[in-house]
Amino acid sequence: MATATSISAETRAKYEPVIGLEVHVQLLTVSKLFCSCSTRFGDPPNTNVCPVCLGLPGALPVLNRKAVEFAVLASMALGCRINERSIFARKNYFYPDLPKGYQISQYDRPLAEFGAIEVPSAKGRKKIGITRLHLEEDAGKSLHEGFADSAETTAIDLNRTGVPLVEIVSEPDISSPGEAYEYLTRLKKIVLYTGVSDCNMEEGSLRCDANVSVRPRGQKEFGTKTEVKNVNSFRFIREALEYEIDRHIGVIESGGKVMQETRLYNANEGKTYGMRSKEQAHDYRYFPEPDLLPLVVDEKWQAEIRRTLPELPEARRTRMVADYSISEKDAEVLTASKTLADQFEEAAKAAENPKRVANLVQSELVGRLKARNLEIEQSPISMRGVAMSADLVERGAISGKMLKDLYDLSFERGKDFPAVYEDEGRPQQSTDTSALEKIIDELIAANPKQVEQYRAGKKTVLGFFVGQVMKASKGQASPQIVNQLLAKKLE
Ligand SMILES: [Zn+2]
């Protein structure tokens, strides 16, 4: 990765980065925040608009109940306290994609406050505070390319105007780009579990701005911060922060002053560029929105929403370790997404040995999906297929090697495991023991010393023989049958 200047590790160690993140998440409502226009992504430009979201004179906003419920649910999942009474406010500024001349947001009375997300850090686990979560409407989109006259003109699409967002603001508790990455990954996972957003970064359903400054270690006051805007992947945010931190240190070390400004990250070059100076903080002239009543989410409504809160990743991990006797690490991988966790549990319940299902999903399924860039939802092998294959191995009907081959065929043909197993004529690993017995007899004759040790009580020698038989059968023999035959012949 490119760096601003060549900052040595020693110089870097003299400074402490201070990072705060602002994340915008689009809520998965069918209609917009204050009107009944559709929120569908990808519709022809300016087709999902009405007088309310166009800001025509006299049009009045009506709050979307579902958006409030989703925002409250997200707040609860992030450990926030819900303010029973919150206030919508007008944030005034001019921008071509904002026809009203103001955005309806929340200011000094946000919907929720005081949450936290726990992340792993260099010193064990660390809590990153969430200052606030508030509801607001999105602005439209300026289109700078894709038209014949794009060189001279900018087009505006107002379909996105008024789409419901929550803005989640962290405390400046984050002290490295790695922690920022962990925070974002966990935030996304938690929000996905609640189902209130699809967090699709390509479609702009999740956007992140990062504030960063550095200060000499031990100093209390913050350094001057810059804001990196509109970075479209968590990996790029980590890279942009790494670049910015080194750039700040470089400026300070050479006797300069960091300028307060907004910067854009160019992922191809791995560099940030100044976009606009922020010497004077924007004055948005916030005032309470006169067309909307205060939002009241009373205890009864809160309790109703809390009942719909699903089991969250952390709790689910702990429970899965207990329920299926799998390791912490297994549980971490298997709860990566709600879908994966749901699917695993479905298979684990259907199969004879949940631990084998956990191993199969991780070693045979996830790897094959990754190699083909597929999501778990697109897997040719269903969880019914995984459960069935796990049981076949468990009972010794097929070997591990046969399972791998059948999985490969499933992926090649895009067919589920049970179908491929049928197509292949329900293959069985050899249960014809005569061939195996011959191998075993030969092994016993060739290894009198080990046979003597076994008969003298050193039962671990059995493992040596099992290994030799498996090798001789090229992995096709059933370990269970080999074990039985060996035990019988060695006695
Ligand atoms: Zn509308």
pLDDT, tens digit (0-9, with 9 covering 90-100), for 367-384: 899 999 988 889 999 988
How many Cβ atoms from other residues are within 10 Å of residue 306's Cβ? 12
The pLDDT tens digits for 395-412 are: 888 888 899 999 999 999
The pLDDT tens digits for 234-290 are: 999 999 999 999 999 999 999 999 999 999 999 899 999 988 765 555 689 999 999
Is the pLDDT score of 314 beyond 50? yes
Residue 482 CA to ligand 1 center (angstroms) comes to 71
Both tokens of 49, joined, read: 């608009």
Q: What is the DSSP track for 219-267?
A: --S----EEEEEE-SHHHHHHHHHHHHHHHHHHHHTT--PPPEEEEEET
10, with CB counted inside 10 A (0-12, 13-18, 19+), is exposed
Residue 193 CA to ligand 1 center (angstroms) comes to 29
Please tell me the number of Cα atoms within 13 Å of 358 on its side-chain side.
19
Q: Mean pLDDT, to the nearest integer, of 340-367?
A: 91
Residue 38 CA to ligand 1 center (angstroms) comes to 8
Taking the C-alpha atoms of residue 381 and residue 347, their distance in angstroms, rounded to an integer, is: 11
Residue 70 CA to ligand 1 center (angstroms) comes to 20
Q: Which of 236, 239, 271, 277 is nearest to 258 (CA)?
A: 277
Residue 144: per-residue pLDDT:
86
More confident of the two residues 157 and 458: 157
Residue 309 CA to ligand 1 center (angstroms) comes to 29
Residue 106 CA to ligand 1 center (angstroms) comes to 20
Residue 98 CA to ligand 1 center (angstroms) comes to 13
Strand blocks (E) in 269-404: 271-277, 287-288, 295-296
More confident of the two residues 178 and 338: 178
User: By mean pLDDT, which of 271-275, 318-322, 439-443, 476-480 is the weakest?
Assistant: 476-480
Taking the C-alpha atoms of residue 250 and residue 287, their distance in angstroms, rounded to an integer, is: 41
Residue 181 CA to ligand 1 center (angstroms) comes to 35
Residue 2: per-residue pLDDT:
44
| CA distances from residue 342 to 114, 232, 305, 346 in whole angstroms, order as listed | 30, 28, 22, 6
The phi, psi pair for 23, rounded to 5°, reads -115, 130
Residue 474 CA to ligand 1 center (angstroms) comes to 67
Residue 439: per-residue pLDDT:
86
Q: Are the CB atoms for 150 and 37 separated by under 8 Å?
A: no
Residue 100 CA to ligand 1 center (angstroms) comes to 12
Residue 46 CA to ligand 1 center (angstroms) comes to 10
Residue 122: per-residue pLDDT:
81
Residue 431: per-residue pLDDT:
62
283, with CB counted inside 10 A (0-12, 13-18, 19+), is exposed
Strands 226-231 and 261-266, bridge-based pairing = parallel
Q: Mean pLDDT, to the nearest integer, of 121-142?
A: 93
Is the pLDDT score of 133 beyond 90? yes
Q: Mean pLDDT, to the nearest integer, of 144-173?
A: 92
Taking the C-alpha atoms of residue 106 and residue 226, their distance in angstroms, rounded to an integer, is: 23
Taking the C-alpha atoms of residue 347 and residue 351, their distance in angstroms, rounded to an integer, is: 6
289, with CB counted inside 10 A (0-12, 13-18, 19+), is buried
Residue 139 CA to ligand 1 center (angstroms) comes to 12
Residue 308 CA to ligand 1 center (angstroms) comes to 28
Taking the C-alpha atoms of residue 425 and residue 422, their distance in angstroms, rounded to an integer, is: 5
How many Cβ atoms from other residues are within 10 Å of residue 489's Cβ? 14
Residue 105 CA to ligand 1 center (angstroms) comes to 16
Residue 59 CA to ligand 1 center (angstroms) comes to 10
Residue 281: per-residue pLDDT:
56
Residue 356 CA to ligand 1 center (angstroms) comes to 52
User: By mean pLDDT, which of 8-12, 126-130, 137-141 is the weakest?
Assistant: 8-12
Q: Are the CB atoms for 129 and 171 separated by under 8 Å?
A: yes
Residue 167 CA to ligand 1 center (angstroms) comes to 21
User: By mean pLDDT, which of 90-104, 142-156, 267-281, 445-459 is the weakest?
Assistant: 267-281
Residue 134 CA to ligand 1 center (angstroms) comes to 21
Q: Mean pLDDT, to the nearest integer, of 139-168?
A: 91
402, with CB counted inside 10 A (0-12, 13-18, 19+), is buried
Is the pLDDT score of 304 beyond 90? yes
Residue 192 CA to ligand 1 center (angstroms) comes to 26
Residue 5 CA to ligand 1 center (angstroms) comes to 49
Residue 145: per-residue pLDDT:
83
Residue 19: per-residue pLDDT:
98
Compute the 3-state secondary structure of the chain and give helix, strand, coil in percent, each to the nearest 5: 40, 20, 40
Residue 140 CA to ligand 1 center (angstroms) comes to 12
Residue 159 CA to ligand 1 center (angstroms) comes to 8
Residue 470: per-residue pLDDT:
81
Residue 1: per-residue pLDDT:
43
Taking the C-alpha atoms of residue 222 and residue 175, their distance in angstroms, rounded to an integer, is: 12
Residue 90 CA to ligand 1 center (angstroms) comes to 18
Q: Mean pLDDT, to the nearest integer, of 173-177?
A: 95
**What is the C-alpha radius of gyration for the chain, rounded to an integer number of angstroms?**
30
For the chain, the residue count is 491
Both tokens of 304, joined, read: 């109703």
Residue 29 CA to ligand 1 center (angstroms) comes to 13
Both tokens of 481, joined, read: 């049958």
Residue 39 CA to ligand 1 center (angstroms) comes to 9
The pLDDT tens digits for 48-102 are: 999 999 999 999 999 999 999 999 999 999 999 999 999 999 999 988 899 999 9
Residue 401: per-residue pLDDT:
87
Residue 184: per-residue pLDDT:
96
Is the pLDDT score of 415 beyond 50? yes
Residue 394 CA to ligand 1 center (angstroms) comes to 58
Helix intervals (H) in 269-312 = 299-306
Residue 435: per-residue pLDDT:
77
- DSSP 8-state class, residue 353: -
Q: What is the mean pLDDT of the chain?
A: 91
Residue 457: per-residue pLDDT:
86
Residue 32 CA to ligand 1 center (angstroms) comes to 7
User: By mean pLDDT, which of 2-16, 44-58, 111-125 is the weakest?
Assistant: 2-16
Both tokens of 418, joined, read: 């049970």
Taking the C-alpha atoms of residue 348 and residue 390, their distance in angstroms, rounded to an integer, is: 9
Q: Which of 127, 231, 235 is nearest to 185 (CA)?
A: 235
Residue 3: per-residue pLDDT:
47
Residue 252: per-residue pLDDT:
95
Residue 342 CA to ligand 1 center (angstroms) comes to 36
Q: List CB contacts of 33: < 8 A, sequence separation 6 or more.
A: 61, 63, 64, 67, 104, 135, 136, 137, 162, 163, 164
